Amino acid sequence: MILTVTLNTALDITYRVRSLRPHASHRVTEVTERPGGKGLNVARVLAALGHEVTVTGFVGGATGHALQEQLLGAERISDALVPVHGSTRRTVAVVDTSTGDTTQLNEPGPSIAPAEWAAFQEAYEDLLGSASAVALCGSLPPGVPVGAYGTLIRTARSASVPVLLDTSGEPLRRGIAARPDIVKPNADELAELTGSHEPLQAMKDTRRRGAHAVVASLGAEGLCALTPDGAWRAPAPDRLSGNPTGAGDSAVAGLLSAQAEKLPWPDRLARAVALSAATVVSPVAGEFDRKTYDDLVTRVTVSERAGAA
């Protein structure tokens, strides 16, 4: 099974309005709720691709109860979330259907006590015993040490479980020093980490800091990757409009699923790009449009880049 870690889980609420205007009252035309947080979005896409997934992280309060209720009966997804005293956060995405733009509102999450962090680490170590890979995803809730991902990466490496890290800021910086197998920043996160706005140079610097392989999301431009096997660029074949929330999480699912199937890097990137684009046209984060994916995955062109050494 593949293990996804979402320390700051959320109940994702999506509102659709005809036109979003500041300082105005709006009539919501559609409301959806889904278990959320980056790792849960990754898990949902992995399950849709046919992989068995276990989700873990923190969950608590009435919002956490609602999240777990929606996980009940989810095909191929097992719930190993760790209970805490505080309440799971909510995120609200407001989609303007006239433009396709999305406005995101994210709560900070519950404050985690030292004993709760210790309980999670114990549960995580147990779960690694049956994991083929682990994804560490998203922000840290208050109370969790800023070096938490570094600790979890070292634990996974001790268990010989490949680990992918998808976070930002200081948790990303400290996590990279623990030598994850893959990191998946976006262009802004790469620039913040390295000071370079040139993706290839920034990825080289990220590898020097400890990452085994770097896959960078470039938004509508697709993905680029720097790995021990070479460097590649995988642009999206079409520019699609819609809700970009969760597109990066679908890319992570594509990378993990293709790794589990032992596909070469160009095929991993093609799958990740196609899934990311197919998520943009889906109305809800953590889901992708299957028809769009099936069409795009055969048309993504992955080219090798020179000067990767």
Q: What is the DSSP string of 154-169?
A: HHHHHTT--EEEE--H
The angle formed by the CA atoms of residues 38, 210 and 56, to the nearest 5 degrees, is 25
Q: Among the options 126, 249, 267, 289, which is catalytic?
A: 249
Residue 126 bears catalytic tag: no
Tell me the two tokens of residue 86. 């505080």
Q: Label residue 217 left, alpha or beta by phi (over 0 means left) and psi (-120 to 50 means alpha).
A: beta
pTM for this prediction: 0.91
Residue 44: phi and psi, rounded to 5, are: -65, -40
Q: What is the pLDDT along the chain (309 residues), one digit of tens a residue?
A: 999 999 999 998 989 999 999 999 999 999 988 899 999 999 999 999 999 999 999 999 999 999 999 999 889 999 999 999 999 999 998 988 888 788 889 998 999 999 999 999 999 999 999 999 999 999 999 999 999 999 999 999 999 999 999 999 999 999 999 999 999 999 899 999 999 988 889 999 999 999 999 999 887 788 999 999 899 999 888 776 666 777 889 999 999 999 888 899 999 999 999 998 888 878 665 688 888 888 888 888 888 875 555
Q: Please state, in angstroms and rounded to a whole number, the distance separating the CA atoms of residues 66 and 89.
A: 11
